[in-house]
Amino acid sequence: MSVALRMSDVHKRFGRVQIIRGVSLDITQGERHAIIGPNGAGKSTLFNLISGRLAVSSGRIELADKNITGLSPFEIKRRGLSRSFQVTNIFPRLSVFENVRCSLQWSEGWRYSFWRLADAIPELRRKAELVIDEIGLTGRSSTPAGVLTYAEQRALEIGITIAGDTSVILLDEPMAGMSLVETQHALELIRRISSNRTLLMIEHDMNVVFDLADRISVLVYGKIIATGTPAEIRSNDRVREAYLGTKVADVASS
C-alpha cells in the first residue's frame, strides 16, 4: 500500500510555546484514520499545518510522495487534499448550489474563466447536483447557506470539502454539536464519501471513532503517543493513562 500523506518530524511553535512537538505519521492510501486526544493537544493545529493554513516551524509534509511543505492552501487543494473546518466555514450569502458549484470549478478546469456563463456549463451543474444529493440537501439547493439549520450547514461543510475530486480529505470534528440522530446520518455520509478516498479526521465522539476508523492516532501535548487499530488503541496503557479512565476506557470496556 502506498502512502497518501506523510508527516516527518513536524514541529510548530508559536513564539516560545511548542504546540506540535515532532509528529511523524504515515496515512496509507484509502484508509480511514482518526486522530483523537484531549483538548489542546494540537489536533486542529496539525490539520492547519497539513492544509497549509499555518506554516510548519520545521519538518516535512508529503502528499502522495510530493513535498507540500510551505505551500499555500489553494496549491495543496489543487494537489488533491481538501479539508473541512471545526467551526462551520461556508459561503453564507450564496445558495447551497452555488457553494458546491464554486468548490467544483477549479478541479473541473474552469479556474478564473470569465468568458463562459457558469449556468451554461452542464457538467458543473450535474456534478454539483450529485454532491448535493450525496450530502442529502437536494431539497435545499436554492436556499442561502446562511439560513440552513446547523446540521445542514455541517453537511454542506462536508459537501464543499468533497466537491472537486480530491484523493485525501481532512474532516475536523464533523460531528461537533450534533444530536444523536444527526450523528448517525453524518456517520453514514462520511462512510459513503470515504469509500474511495483517504480520510483523516479529528473526532471527539469515541463511538464514531471506534466505529469508523481503520486506524487511530492519539495526540497528546503535540506528540503522537500511539497509533494502531481500534483494538490496539483500546488496550494501550499509555492511552488509558492519558485519558485517565474517561471515554476511551468506557468504549473499551463496552
Partner 1 sequence: MVWAGCALVLLIIPLAPTSGFALSLSSQMAIAAVFALSYNMLLGQTGLLSFGHAVFMGIGGFVAIHVLRSVNAGEWQLPLILLPLIGALGGACFGLVFGWFATRRSSTAFAMITLGFGELVYASAFIFVDLYGGEQGITADRTLAPKILGLEFASQLQVYYLIMSWAFIAAVLIFIIGRTPLGRVALATRDNAERVAFIGYNPNRVRFLMFVLSTFFAGMAGSLFAIDYEIVTYGSLGLSASAQVLMMAFIGGSSTFVGPIVGAILITGLQVLLGQYTDLWILYLGVLFAIVIRFAPDGLAGLIAKECASWRLNHIRGRSVLIGLRTIAAVIAAIGFVTLLELASRAKTASVGGAVLRVWGTHVDVMSPWPWLFAGICFLMGLISLRFVHLAAARRMSVADVNGEPK
Contacts to partner 1 by CB under 8 A: 51, 53, 72-74, 77-78, 82-83, 85, 89-94, 98-99, 101-103, 105-107, 110-119, 121, 124, 160, 163-164
What is the C-alpha to C-alpha distance for residues 33 and 198, in angstroms, rounded to an integer?
A: 8
8 Å CB contact between 109 and 123: no
Number of helical H runs and strand E runs in the chain: 10, 10
Q: Which is nearer to partner 1, 32 or 77 (CB)?
A: 77
Give 28's Cβ-side CA count (13 Å radius): 11
Min dist CB 131 to partner 1, Å, is: 12
Which DSSP letter does residue 167 get? S
Min dist CB 78 to partner 1, Å, is: 5
Q: Which is nearer to partner 1, 103 or 194 (CB)?
A: 103
Q: Which is nearer to partner 1, 172 or 205 (CB)?
A: 172
Min dist CB 155 to partner 1, Å, is: 16
Cell of residue 176, nine digits: 461537533
Query: How many residues are recorded in the chain?
Result: 254
Q: Which is nearer to partner 1, 155 or 239 (CB)?
A: 155
Give SS3 for 232.
helix
Min dist CB 169 to partner 1, Å, is: 11
What is the C-alpha to C-alpha distance for residues 25 and 222, in angstroms, rounded to an integer?
A: 13
Q: Which is nearer to partner 1, 91 or 221 (CB)?
A: 91
What is the C-alpha to C-alpha distance for residues 233 and 227, in angstroms, rounded to an integer?
A: 7
Min dist CB 68 to partner 1, Å, is: 14
Min dist CB 86 to partner 1, Å, is: 13
Q: Which is nearer to partner 1, 156 or 175 (CB)?
A: 156
Min dist CB 113 to partner 1, Å, is: 5
**Distance of CA 77 to CAs 53, 211, 224, 226, Å?**
11, 28, 25, 28
Cell of residue 240, nine digits: 488509558
Contacts 24+ apart (CB under 8 A), 85-89: 85/157, 85/172, 86/44, 86/172, 86/173, 86/176, 86/202, 88/150, 88/153, 88/154, 88/157, 89/157
Q: Which is nearer to partner 1, 50 or 209 (CB)?
A: 50
